[in-house]
Structure formats: structure tokens, C-alpha cells
Amino acid sequence: MMKPPVFIAGIGVISAIGNNVAENLAALGKEAAGIGEMTNLHSVHRRKLPVAEVKMSNEALAAIAGLPVEVTRTALLSAIAVKEALQSAAIENIRDLRTGFISANTVGGMDKTESFFEEFSGHPQKGRLRDVVYHECGAVTELVADKIGIKNHIATVNTACSSSSNAIFMGARLIRQNRLDLVIAGGTDALTRFTLNGFNTLMIVDRQYCQPFDENRRGLNLGEGAGYLVLVSDKIAAMLKQSPLCVLSGACNANDAYHQTASSPGGTGSYLAMKGALERSGLQPRDIDYINLHGTGTQNNDIAEGTAIKLLFDGHYPPMSSTKSFTGHTLGASGGIEAVFSVLSLQYGLIYPNLRLETPMKDLPFVPEKHFRKGVPVRHVLSNSFGFGGNCSSLIFSKL
Amino acid sequence: MYLQAAAGISPQPSFEQICSSPVVYPGNRLSCIEPDYTRRIDPRMIRRMSRIIRMGVAAALDCLKASGIGMPDAIITGTAYGCLKDTEVFLSKMVENKEDLLTPTAFIQSTHNTIGAQIALLLKCHNYNNTLVQRGFSFESALLDAISLLEDREAKNVLVGGIDELTDTSFALLSRFGSYRRSLADSTSLYEEQDRGTIAGEGAAFFLVSGEPSGNDYAKLEEIDTFYKPGGANRTEAYIRDFLTAHGIRMEEIDLVITGRNGNAKDDAVYEQIERAVFKDKATARFKHLCGEYPTASSFALWLAAHCLKEKKTPAGILWSGMEAAPRRILIYNHYQNTHHALYLLSAC
């Protein structure tokens, strides 16, 4: 049991389906995916590999973020979602509180580094040094922390695709242990050629729009964005003008310990993460009303995750879906973006569809949701994030 | 929190050698002295690992062996740069081949969590596994994560480490930023002439930490604190005084202060003021001539301090002022680029 609870007081998100919470919510309701032809990213894979881009140039993002346009796109996305999260929490005296910023990302300012390498590679005296100053993952977090004036505590998590969930888990612990009053936790990642080509060499990028949990799934589409929660202690929650959105009732981080990139066939890590989160929340599988799947759309992930769900939820399958069918796989941001979607599911009683599902997986006894539903009583949502290195994390959000 | 074991791979072969005759480096670049890995890791696995992964995994396994614990309750790594070599290899090929004819090996090993993941894979450890990547706070963030897990009783013991590698490319790039001395007789003369730049370093240091004493601990980590961009040496001094006051630490109870002086005039000016104002008349030691400067160098300092307390001696090669003695309490103060400041208070067990 997670005691005392950690409250979610605000949310912020930017993704391929919208630049803020309202736009994301509208797109989810309209079943409108954000995947399409590449426009901002310059890659030879344009017109060949669809991606889920945030529909704004760096110039437009910088204007909203209030940051210089030459900084990494990863920080621009982060700053925009962080600002929205803080605004929605409506906490005025943030500077008087012990505030932390725990942000995840997987490749830091790689968008700038890869441009730098075009000149630098083979010519070590060439390339503009100002393009590599944001290379470190931590530099992205510091850009945003400095912008919003957070000094008490900053940390960056990088456990590949489960990074954001671990940032939220860590932030919740620091609040519960009375080390901090408020933590903005989540993650960000911009599309880069580095990650696109990396996943492409693994032959897990879908040349069409991805079909998570479909028998004939072909792989993932990469996306970009940022998503953050404002986590507060019970003491701060009591001081808020508005009631908190929900609580984080359970979290667990486990490792598959099977292979650097592939999931074990039985989904050991996924199973342990979900089971651990349930135990810590004091809930039973039948209490879960919606699962936001990791659901990348790769052969390997979906069967491993599905098998773990089969083992844990046998006889009590709740509605479930992969919202990566809307946003693409946003890597280090995915846990943050999907945490925001989970909070919205609780807040408005929403079940999101798993878009483009045609043929359910033969080896699984359940079928993800095909259509958007609202007005559903949702009390507990489970959100999964699994990554390279066997890093598996699950979060459970619950109604107050 | 107790340091049940400490193990590291650094530009120095061992604590014993630091006591007898530390390795001195010509020029401005220090490199890790790598052990024979074949006695620790399956040679088939070693071949697939890049250098930083080998160093990290070997240091972690050495630490576990020294602790007598086979399966840690959690594995947490801190690294600022992550797996640089693999990142460079994939980036260079991607640029040179214009995003064509690429192989996945370097990409899949380039993620910052690879070291923690490989340790888990070798141990078949399904427990908590996290990687923190906050520049000069990477190791401290990992330690704080470990402390909060222990406090939450999510874990009884945690394997936690700080790892960063220096590659030819990162050395060339950081040299262009003016990070390193242009001329230096050797690593021991680092502090003699204050000038622009320090010496480059790298390392992997792991600790098995526990909330309860084991009866055979290296040291007890009494307190740890960090502060970010304090703004000016006076503010830094105030933070350090606040840290001491908040934890009821009196300077007369400290036997040795280890500072992160690195020979770079701008960085050392901060240490200079703190030494004069707060650490006056204390025995002081320095360590960056042994390991070089890198974002997780404080993990080397913790490894060094843990050994001083365990072995009840201060190596002559690190002592800068005061008497060589068997320290009981050590304070470490390190800052990285005057941005990331960290304080550690350790005591003998």
C-alpha cells in the first residue's frame, strides 16, 4: 500500500495529436491519429516511414516555450508541457515550496548533435560547438528547470522507453518521504534521425500506420512529444483551490533480465511490474477499469505484454488499448504522455480506442477496445511502459 | 545508510597502490586501468560489450563479490554521458552512409541504461532497475534514489554506481571547449600552477548500500546533499554552512575534508574560499590528480573515502594539508563546473 497517497494536481501534454490537453482530448474523442508524412525532421526516410510529429516548427515551439529557437527541440517540447501542467495545477507559490523537476528523455539534444556530426565526422575541428552543449540528457532538464525557476531538486531518468514512468515513481517517493512538496514529473523526446534509424535497423519500424495488438502487426511508428504530471503531497493538496485530479496509488519497476532489446516470451518483466503495482496499491486485477498498454505494435512487445496480462488478469480483462496508435511511440516521453491520458480517463470516464485493430491476436483471449467510449465509470487505471534493457514499469492511478 | 562494499575501475589500479605509489600520468588525459575481465565475465559476453559496459559491469560484479550478496534488491546507475562510444559509432556511420547500411549493435548498446541492464541480465535480477543521467548530479541522483528505496522498504540493499567514459571524440570535443590544460608536466603538478582547464578522466565505481549495518561495512554514509547553481562563492558558503547546521555537524568532529579541486583556476577559486572560510585548519585531501575530472568523479571520491575509513589510513598521495592519520569522519565536497555541488559526510563503522 502506498501510504500516504501522492496526489496529481495538474497535467500537461504535447504530442502529434495536439499541443495541449484540450487538443489531445479532442483528437482521442475523434479517433484521429497524429501519424503522417515527416515534415519537420530531415531524413532520407521521408515519405517512406510515417512518423507522429508535433505539428509545429522549432520557431513556433520556441515562441510558446519562451526559449531560444536554437536549443534542442526536446527542451522546447518539455517546457511547453511543463508550463501547461503548472498552470492547470494553479499553484501560485511554487517558489515557496520545495519543488522538484524529474524529467525523462532518452537521447538529450540528439537533434542538435546529429547536425553537428555532419560537419564534425572526419573533421574534428569542424562543427559549431553550440550545437553539442545540449547533448547530455541532463542538459535538457536543466534548460527547462532554469526557465521555470526550479532549484531545489532536479533529476533526469533514462531507462529507455520506460523513463517517464520511473520519473513519476521517483517523484512520488520523494514527496511521500517529505523530501519535496511538489514534483513536476514526466518526460520528453523529440524525433531524431538517430532514433529513427536505430529502430529501423532493428527492423521494427512500420512502413504503414502501426497496428498495435493486431495479429498482423508490423512494428511501431516513432513519435515525439512531452507529458508531465504535477505531483503534490497531501498537505499541499489540502491547500489547493481546486480538488486534485486523482492519486497515484501504485507503482512498480521490474526488470525482464532476458535480452538487451527483446522481451521474454512470457513477459516476465511486464508481469512483475503490473503485479508489483497492484500489490502496492492494495488492488486486485478485477479492480482495474482500463489498461493503457505499452502496445508498441512490434511482434515481440505485444505478445510479451499480452501474455503477461493473460497471466495476471485471467477472467477479469478490463478494457484496454494502446494510445500509441494515435501518438506513435514517443520513447522517453511515452510514460508521461500516457500518464496524462490515464488521468484524463479517470477524470472524464473515458476509454480510448486501439486504432486500426483489424484481426485480434490469435494467442490472446482478449480484444483491445476498438472505439472511443465516454461516461464509463473508471476508478483505477493501469499504465504500462516497457523499454530496452528489460526495464519495465507500471503505474496505477485512482480516483479520489 | 551503510556502504557494505565498494569497488571501482579507475585510472588507479587499487587503493593499495594509491597508498604506495599512485600512477602518474603525463599530459592531460587519464584512462582507466582495465582488469582482466575474463575472470569476471563470460568471454562471449565481453566481446559484445563496449568498454564502458565492461568497466561498469566488472566494477558492479566486484562490488557484489566483496559484499557477499549475490542478488541485490535494486540496481541503480548514474552516468552523465552514457555509452558515448556506441553513440558515436552509430552517429558517424549514420552521417557517413547517409542513413543507409546501418547495423543495430551500436544503437542498442547506446542507451544510458545499458550498463544497469547488462548487470541485471548477468545476474538474472528482476528487481528494481533505474538509471539517472543528471550531468554532475548523475551519481548523487542514483544515490538519492537508493536512499528513498531503502526508506520505503522497497529494498534492503541496493547496488548503486557512477560510470562515465572518456573517448577520443569526447576528449577532442571537450578540448575544443577549453576544458583541459594545454601544457602540464604530469598529473601530480595539476594544482601547482592555477590556469585554465583541468585534466580529463573517467571511471566506474559501485557500492552495495544497505539501511542496516552488516558488521563488516566500509563506512556509514551519514548525510548527502546537493545544491544546484548556488550563484557565487558566498552563496555556496552559505549552503555548506546550512548543511552543517541542519545536520548538527561540528567541523571539529571532521578528521579529513576531501575536496574536488581540479586545477582549473575558476573551479578552484570556489574551493579556495570554502577552505578558508569553512574548512579552516582542517586536514584536506584532493583526488582529481588520481582520476581526472568527469561528471561522476564524486563516485571515485566516495570509493576513496570508504577505503580510507575501512583501512584506517589516509594515503600520503591524496593529503594536501594537515597530518596523515586514521580518519573517523570524512567530509567530501565536490562541485562540477560550479553548477552541481555535492556534500557527503561519512563515518567509520
- Tens digits of per-residue pLDDT, B250-305? 999 999 999 999 999 999 999 999 999 999 999 999 999 999 999 999 999 999 99
Residues for chain B: how many in total?
A: 349
- The last residue of a domain, from among A205, A239, A273: A239
B-chain residue closest to A2, CA distance: B152
Which chain B residues touch A259 with a CB distance below 8 Å? 121
Tens of pLDDT along A302-344? Answer: 999 999 999 999 999 999 999 999 999 999 999 999 999 999 9
| Gap from B126 CA to chain A (nearest CA, Å) | 4
Task: List the single best residue of B76, B93, B126, B150 to mutate versus A (max A Cβ within 10 A).
Answer: B126
Give pLDDT, residue B323. Answer: 84
* Beta carbons of A157 and B117 less than 8 Å apart: no
- Note whether A45 and A86 are same-domain residues: yes
B-chain residue closest to A101, CA distance: B134
Residue at grid coordinates 562510444: B85
Helix, coil or strand: residue A114? helix
Instruction: State the average pLDDT for chain A.
Output: 96
- Cα–Cα dist B254/B218, whole Å: 17
* Beta carbons of A387 and B113 less than 8 Å apart: yes
User: What Å distances lie between residue A307 and A89, A302, B349, CA to CA?
Assistant: 38, 8, 48
- Note whether A38 and A186 are same-domain residues: yes
- Note whether A227 and A360 are same-domain residues: no
* Beta carbons of B129 and A255 less than 8 Å apart: yes
The single residue of A246, A294, A380, A392 carrying the catalytic annotation is A294
B284 to chain A, any CB pair closer than 8 A? The answer is no
> For residue B206, how many C-alpha atoms fall within 13 Å in the half-sphere facing its CB?
28
| Gap from A307 CA to chain B (nearest CA, Å) | 17
Active site residue A392: no
B123 to chain A, any CB pair closer than 8 A? The answer is yes
Domain B219-347, what architecture?
3-Layer(aba) Sandwich (3.40)
- Note whether A134 and A29 are same-domain residues: yes
Among B33, B48, B39, B210, residue whose Cα is nearest residue B118: B48
Tens of pLDDT along B30-49? Answer: 999 999 999 889 999 899 99
**What residue spans define the domains of chain B?**
2-210, 219-347
- Note whether A195 and A292 are same-domain residues: no
* Beta carbons of B108 and A388 less than 8 Å apart: yes
Tens of pLDDT along A119-166? Answer: 999 999 999 999 999 999 999 999 999 999 999 999 999 999 999 999
- Note whether A39 and A145 are same-domain residues: yes
* Beta carbons of A177 and B177 less than 8 Å apart: no
Which chain B residues touch A113 with a CB distance below 8 Å? 91
B252 to chain A, any CB pair closer than 8 A? The answer is no
Tens of pLDDT along A377-390? Answer: 999 999 999 999 99
Locate B263 and state its grid cell. 586545477
Question: Across the A/B interface, how many CB contacts are shorter than 8 Å?
Answer: 177
Which chain B residues touch A198 with a CB distance below 8 Å? 90, 104, 107-108, 110
- The last residue of a domain, from among A239, A265, A280: A239
Tens of pLDDT along B319-342? Answer: 999 987 899 999 999 999 999 999
Domain that holds residue A99: 6-239
Answer for the pair B6, B286: CB distance below 8 angstroms, yes or no: no
- The last residue of a domain, from among A171, A205, A239: A239
Which chain B residues touch A132 with a CB distance below 8 Å? 173
- Note whether A130 and A266 are same-domain residues: no
Give pLDDT, residue A3. Answer: 65
Helix, coil or strand: residue A397? strand
* Beta carbons of B228 and A256 less than 8 Å apart: no
* Beta carbons of B111 and A124 less than 8 Å apart: no
Give pLDDT, residue A1. Answer: 44
A218 lies in a domain?
A: yes
Active site residue A153: no
Which chain B residues touch A46 with a CB distance below 8 Å? none
Give pLDDT, residue B194. Answer: 78
CATH code, B2-210: 3.40.47.10
The single residue of A252, A329, A380, A392 carrying the catalytic annotation is A329
* Beta carbons of A197 and B177 less than 8 Å apart: no
- Note whether A73 and A35 are same-domain residues: yes
* Beta carbons of B108 and A390 less than 8 Å apart: no
Of the partner residues A106, A155, A390, the one whose CB lies closest to the CB of residue B117? A390
3-state secondary structure chain B: CEEEEEEEECCCCCHHHHHHCCCCCECCECCCCCCCHHHCCCHHHHHHCCHHHHHHHHHHHHHHHHHCCCCCCEEEEECCCCCHHHHHHHHHHHHHCCCCCCCCHHHHCCCCCHHHHHHHHHHCCCCEEEEECCHHHHHHHHHHHHHHHHHCCCCCEEEEEEEECCCHHHHHHHHHCCCECCCCCEHHHCCCCCECCECECCEEEEEEEECCCCCCCCEEEEEEEEEECCCCHHHHHHHHHHHHHHCCCCHHHCCEEEECCCCEHHHHHHHHHHHHHCCCCCCEEECHHHHCECCCHHHHHHHHHHHHHHHCCCCCCCEEECCCCCCCEEEEEEEECCCEEEEEEEECC
Give pLDDT, residue B325. Answer: 82
A1 lies in a domain?
A: no
Answer for the pair A384, A274: CB distance below 8 angstroms, yes or no: yes
The model's pTM: 0.98
Tens of pLDDT along A194-205? Answer: 999 999 999 999
- Would B2-210 and B219-347 be classified into the same CATH topology? yes
Instruction: State the average pLDDT for chain B.
Output: 96
- Cα–Cα dist A322/A315, whole Å: 21
- Note whether A270 and A178 are same-domain residues: no
Residue spans of chain B under pLDDT 70: none
Tens of pLDDT along A69-81? Answer: 999 999 999 999 9
User: To 10 degrees, the CA torsion angle through B219, B225, B228, B234?
Assistant: -100
CATH number at A20 reads 3.40.47.10
Locate A107 and state its grid cell. 537521447
- Note whether A155 and A255 are same-domain residues: no
Query: Among residues of chain A, what percentage have pLDDT more than 70?
Result: 99
Contacts 24+ apart (CB under 8 A), B90-98: B90/A194, B90/A197, B90/A198, B91/A113, B91/A114, B91/A117, B91/A121, B91/A194, B92/A117, B92/A121, B92/A122, B94/A114, B94/A117, B94/A193, B94/A194, B94/A197, B95/A114, B95/A117, B95/A118, B95/A121, B96/A121, B96/A122, B98/A44
- Note whether A217 and A255 are same-domain residues: no
Query: Among residues of chain B, what percentage have pLDDT more than 70?
Result: 100
Give pLDDT, residue A272. Answer: 98
Name the B residues in 144-183 with CB < 8 Å from any A CB: 144-145, 148-149, 151-152, 169, 172-173, 176-177
Which residues have C-beta within 8 Å of that of residue B208, sequence separation ≥ 6? B3, B4, B5, B6, B63, B64, B66, B67, B69, B72, B157, B158, B159
Mean pLDDT value across residues A45-56: 98
Which chain A residues touch B110 with a CB distance below 8 Å? 198
Active site residue A294: yes
pLDDT of A350 > 50? The answer is yes
Tens of pLDDT along A238-254? Answer: 999 899 999 999 999 99
The single residue of A137, A161, A210, A252 carrying the catalytic annotation is A161
* Beta carbons of A106 and B111 less than 8 Å apart: yes
- Note whether A283 and A365 are same-domain residues: yes
Structurally, chain A folds into a number of domains equal to: 2
- Cα–Cα dist B309/B347, whole Å: 7
